[in-house]
Structure 1
Amino acid sequence: MQTIKLSARTSTAVRVARGGALEVINTHGSQVVDTWAVLQSDPEHGLSMEHTRAIHGRVYVRAGDVLFDDRRQPLLAITADTSPGIHDTLIPACSAARYRELGYQGEHDNCSANYCLALTSVGLPVPVRTPGPLNLFMNVPVDVDGSFKFSAPVSRPGDSVLLEALEDVVIILSACPQDMVPVNGESQEPQDAEIRVYEPVERIQTRNS
């Protein structure tokens, strides 16, 4: 097992072999982690929230769900989730434009830039557009009239989500830097998270133990 500290406001990219898994641990309970995945063999194709929503017929994902790529092929599976299960699939990664809209003057850390930095760090090309992420632990309640709001996470310190790789993938993660609306808690203070990466053989041993 490999353990990675995902520092607040930063990103990382991790290669995970088919049959392996990656666990995202919300150390402080309030941190949103934007999550993407692309195929190692063909990084132009990756995790698609649009297709995943359409296949499951709902806007929320939960333990037991398969997550699909842009060709509707299985890419990841949520094999465990110790949190209340509130994760967002609707909201795009925050960007420089988003912070300008919120009134921020100057350059602000953002998940779109973090996505590009993470891809570059492992030698993968940067796409023209940032795909929609799976926003782990992000709480965006949707009302019956279709309206939504940005609320503080309901996850607790130590809650985690386990993602199993159904193909050889690169998983990209960003500890969201949002500090102008309460998606990272009422304090609006981004925090660290912890990542654990499991090799396929470790997963086999765990299932057989």
Structure 2
Amino acid sequence: MQKFIRMKAVAAPLPLANVDTDMIIPAQYMKSLSRSGLGKHLFQELRFDRSGEERADFVLNRPQCRNAQIIVADRNFGCGSSREHAVWALTDFGIRCVIAPSFGDIFASNARKNGLLLIRLPDEICGHLRSEVALSQYAPVEVDLEAQSIRLASGETIAFDIDPDDRRILMEGLDDIGRTLRHDDAITKFEAAL
């Protein structure tokens, strides 16, 4: 899993509440157990019309946001079914961080396991971030996990809190196997004693 210390990237404002996992990646695109290739179907029904043409008004189709790595969403992002494919689609597209007032519980767990940083901030601050991103014409935003801060193009800094264990896992780039292997010596000693 890729480490996350800090990044400077374009943030895409997505002012939609209750974006569920089916909206993130529709079920018909979940036929693979591979984490790659799902990004092309991210937000399929929002990004494309029925004929497969891009919707010009969707934020990730705008020229300034095509390479966005941050999404500034609204409340309850990632609600719905427990599909890990939703996180895989986001990360395969290039999204490394989602900022929102709240997240679906299972989605949040899947995000941590797959190196996607979720930042919870109050509704009004998320609204302010979305406005500032648009006002700055999508100038890059810096997310610093080590300092637990977001720096806008204007120079404004917004602090955020994160669970210390989640922070450590993301900064060290540890998936479930990596966390287990940190205890390799103890496991080996235990097995030898059996």
Q: TM-score, normalised by structure 2?
A: 0.28
More strand by share: 1
Q: Which has the higher contact order (CA 8 A, sep 6+)?
A: 1
More helix by share: 2
